Amino acid sequence: WPRWPPLAARPPAARQTKTRNPGGRRAACRFCVHMHAILFCLALRPAEPVGFIGLGIMGQGMARRLASSGQPLHVWTRGATAASALASEHPGAVTVAESPAAVVEACSRTYLMLSTPDACEEVYSMRGGVLEGVSDGKALIDCATLRPEDMAALAERVHERGGSFVEAPVSGSKAPAANGALIFMCAGDEETFRLAEAELAAMGKFTVFCGTTVGAASKMKLVVNLVMGTQLAALAEGLALASALGLSSEDVQAVLDGGAMASPMVALKGPMMAKREYPTAFPLKHALKDMRFALNLAEASDLPVSASATGLFAAADAAVPSLGDADFCAVMEAARAAAATGSVR
């Protein structure tokens, strides 16, 4: 390889040497130390807490996902046991508040997962309720499944107090909530939605933003639950018919799982229904509520949506009081009763 010529033989430009600037180096060093100190302090600063109200079947799993991701929480629920258990699992990271208002006041964003319109109204409006804590800069992300007009009314009341509002009903039940596999359907204030995306990602596998009009996401959720309930009712009727005809439920399940009807819900719920075992992941009474809400939407739009599946859920809920709290695959009991009596709806 050719060697470079000696320094003396190089042109003047090549003989330039570095100018010594010890003062500049010291200044640069001080700057680096200062920046490292800032970054170290930022790393030590605790994350801003978020609120979570409602630690029922769904809320417990969702709040645990947030806490496990390192998110500090302020929580409140109507039963103290669930909140205390969560705080024990995450010492120092979960603060149990005395009221819903205290949660909202302590956090810039608060998630709510409540079961029914009545439960929402109580928790929002009670003494020390959610609305008492809302002020300028506070944001609510409500994950309940309600009528679209109910969500719009809640949003209006929050806006009147200076807060922002996002509805975020979910598709998924107990296990997806615990595993961070929910699907969020969101609508409302877009800035709040964007700020909440990382938290939603900790609780779910993906999110759909349905627009800025509150109520749009509730409509989406009710459509999804109508399809789901109708599918499960059809499965119940099919399994009841197969049993009446003396067919093997295992063989029926194998054919369903291997064909075009295969789905996670059929694979999970089919064997439970065949065994008449209904451990609660999504209560039947709440499925019935959602399907009735969906039918109301259809009637308001003059759409001919079949009510037969909803009727089957209603029959199951009325037949045995305890079935309302069982999983919604307990609709199988109404299908079996109809098959036994030969009744046709």
Catalytic positions are 221
CB atoms inside a 10 Å sphere around CB 303: 9
Cα–Cα dist 318/187, whole Å = 34
Exposure of 164 in the CB half-sphere (CA atoms within 13 A): 18
In single-letter form, the type of residue at position 21 comes to: N
Q: Are 109 and 141 a contacting pair, CB within 8 Å?
A: yes
Of residues 109, 105, 78, 96, the one with CA closest to residue 203: 109
Pairing relationship of beta strands 164-167 and 182-188 according to DSSP bridges: antiparallel
Q: What sign results for the dihedral spanned by CA atoms 297, 302, 306, 308?
A: positive
Cα–Cα dist 289/314, whole Å = 9
CB atoms inside a 10 Å sphere around CB 341: 8
112 φ, ψ to 5°?
A: -125, 135
- Residue 44, C-beta contacts closer than 8 angstroms, at least 6 positions apart: none
Cα–Cα dist 235/313, whole Å = 13
Degrees to nearest 5, angle at CA 21 with 17 and 24: 140
Q: Are 94 and 87 a contacting pair, CB within 8 Å?
A: yes
Of residues 169, 165, 154, the one with CA closest to residue 203: 169
